[in-house]
Structure 1
Amino acid sequence: MDLHEQFRRSALELGVPDDEVARFGQFLRFAIWTGSEPHGSPVGRRGGRPLHGDAERLLAGAGTLPFVASFDCAALPGIDDLALPKDGSLLFFLDHEEAVEADSAEDAQRFARVVHVPADSGAVSVDGGHDLFARVRPELPHWLGMDEQALSGYQQHQARDLPHRHELVALVGSLWPKGQQAEIRIGGYSGHTGGLSGKNVHATPEAGMAWENIKDRKAGTTPDEMMFAMEEELDRVMREWVPLAQFRADELHVGRFLVRHDDLAALRLDEVLTVTEFLE
């Protein structure tokens, strides 16, 4: 049984109407949380130095960028709506200190790279670092668990069709209890690193994209109307993009690799957007 179907059956057993379960399920995402706590077989390795017999060609463009991690695609658990490669290795490189100081988002891309090494090219080994193990975890937008009076206008609009949302949030927690925190998260939602002006809207790379898309609509709109438009656009952006990987680069920086679902499915990894954030 896939995870969304497991949730659906459990929710129906609670007496929640099928159409409400389906609507809530649109917000439920699953992510691969990887860390050093042993759990099954390793799925990747963090740190160290990647080794491959044809590394000069396959890793062209990565140059001397710091290596973040490598994942064995065949060993990663499959999750809904995340079209990861079925085999081969995914390698992530990021110079977070240079990226965060870049003059523009475009310039920052020079300091990051994602590489897929096909299985028929031979295995990638890593000298040094430590093993990563995977667990699949559910993720939900934070507002689903908030009280009605704390919701923004757009969130209240969405919550009208979810009268059992608190029970469903609790159900997700009971089906998949919390465990070890992740070193590197694959899929799911972007984590918050700060506040964005406006009620219950937090700073994520997707929020920045949404704001750029709607900021010119200010003329003739009230602040509440502008915030509603912002959150509506943010919903659209989050359906289009997914965090391919996000992690603490060090004590002061968060690194993210974002990609459109269509680009990931086509393995257009040159379209991956890297965002490095400074934790204030």
Structure 2
Amino acid sequence: MDRYEQFRRAAIDRGIPDDEVGKFADQLRFAVWTAASGSGEEVVGQRGGLPRLPVGMEWPGGGYPLPFIASVDCALLPRAEGLPLPVDGTLLFFLHHEADVQAHPNTDKPGFARVLYVPAGTDTAVAPPPPDHDSTRFFDEDMPFLIPECGLSAWVEPVLPQWIRKRNVNHEPDAVQDLFEELKHIDELCELVDGLWPVPDQSSLLRIGGYCMKIGGQDSPWTRMAEVSVMSRHGTGSDLSTSDLFRLCDAEESRLIREWVPLAQFLTESDYHYGCFLISLDDLAAKRFDTMLSFTMFTE
């Protein structure tokens, strides 16, 4: 029995109407969380240190090498329903957060972020540090290029949109506000999720799947993507009213939330930046990792 079926059966056993259970379950996602591995825990990846790259491959970024964030062995990751990660091979994540956050509009192919997929069976070797890496520093922070290395363990967590967790839809699209009114047993359903899958008492270093974290007062990556998409179709000189533009953006954002997923979310070594890589579910299933979009955000 998968987790969705487990949830549905438990909710219906509590007497919650089936249609309401289904609407709530449509908002429920399962994601892979990772943290520094402890004694006896299976190591599924690596944060920091030096990456293992295919033999002969240069450090990603070429003349502008990108800091290595983490890697995960897909064959060792726990499976999360609705998240079509590769069943084997390795994913490696690279990001220069200061350069990436200045990129505009952050919906083009990123120049300062990279996801590398290395298929199983590929000959790899630990990459030597890029030339002059010891002298590489970030513009506003005295940070080393190489992150201290640690092993990663992983588990699956249920993830709900923040509007459900906070019971606040004041700034959400009309469709979300309507759905919120239909969820008469929302407190009981949230309690059921928490009871079925208690959250471990540890901080996650890298999150795969789920929903985008909202950082400070910034628009979410989905909001920013929706605005760019709508404006590219209708232009700044459009005759559409402001209310029509808002409606179109809301509809586009709803579509993006359904079709795109965070491939990686993580705190950087910076006190001020948070990394977020997004990919469409179709591209994730097809291993088209070059379609990833990067949205580095300020944490304050």
User: Which TM-score tier does this pair reach, normalised by the shorter chain?
Assistant: 0.7 to 0.9
Choose which of 240, 245, 254 in structure 1 pairs with 2:264: 245
Instruction: Answer whether contact 1:145 1:166 (CA < 8 A) is retained.
Output: no
**TM-fit CA distance, 1:210:** 1.7
The 2-side partners of 1:148 and 1:99 are apart by 31
Q: When the two structures are aligned, how many residues end up with a matched partner?
A: 270
Q: Return the alpha-carbon distance in structure 2 between the equivalents of residues 88 and 239 of structure 1.
A: 26
Q: CA deviation at 1:229?
A: 4.7
CA distance in 2 between partners of 1:86 and 1:70 (Å)? 15
Structure 1 residue 194 displacement after superposition: 2.6
SS of the residue 2:295 aligns to: strand
Q: Which string of whole-angstrom CA distances, capped at 9 and with x for unpartnered residues, describes residues 47-84 of structure 1?
A: 000135x4333x66443211110100000011112111
Aligned residue number for residue 162 of structure 1: 183
**Structure 1 Cα separation of the partners of residues 158 and 10 of structure 2:** 15
Cα 1:122–1:13 change in 2 (3 A) is: farther
C-alpha distance in 2 between matches for 1:171 and 1:106? 37
CA distance in 1, matches of 2:49, 2:30: 28
2:229 corresponding residue in structure 1: 213
What TM-score, normalized by structure 1, do the two folds share?
0.86
Please name the residue that 1:200 is paired with: none
Q: Which residue of 1 aligns with 2:297?
A: 277
Aligned residue identity for 1:72: D
Task: Output one character per residue of 1:129-175: Cα deviation in whole Å (capped at 9) or x when no partner.
Answer: 10111111111112224557857544331124322122111111121
Answer yes or no: is the 8 Å Cα contact 1:65–1:93 preserved in 2: yes
Counterpart amino acid of 2:296? T
One-letter amino acid matched to 1:20: E
Against the structure 1 CA distance between its residues 165 and 124, is the aligned structure 2 distance closer, same or farther, given a 3 Å change threshold?
farther
2:139 is aligned to none
Aligned counterparts of 2:171 and 2:7: Cα–Cα separation in 1: 25
Structure 1: where are the runs of 5+ without partners?
197-202
1:102 match? 103
- Aligned match of 1:139: 159
> Aligned pair 1:260/2:261, yes or no?
no
- Summarize the Cα distance change of 1:107–1:9 in structure 2 as closer, same or farther, 3 Å threshold: closer
Amino acid at match of 1:170: E
Distance 1:136 1:189 in 2: 14
Higher normalized contact order (CA 8 Å, seq sep 6+, divided by chain length)? 2
Tell me the secondary structure at the aligned position of residue 233 of structure 1: helix
Provide the TM-score with structure 2 as the length reference.
0.80
Aligned identity (percent) is 43
- Residue 24 in structure 1 maps to residue 24 in structure 2: yes
| 3-state SS in 2 of match to 1:168 | helix
RMSD of the alignment, in Å?
2.6
Does the 8 Å CA contact 2:33/2:155 hold for their aligned counterparts?
yes
Query: Which structure carries more helix by proportion?
Result: 1
Q: Is the CA contact (8 Å cut-off) linking 2:223 and 2:253 kept in structure 1?
A: yes
CA deviation digits over 1:193-225, x for unaligned, max 9? 1335xxxxxx21011112233455783354xx7
CA distance in 1, matches of 2:247, 2:285: 31
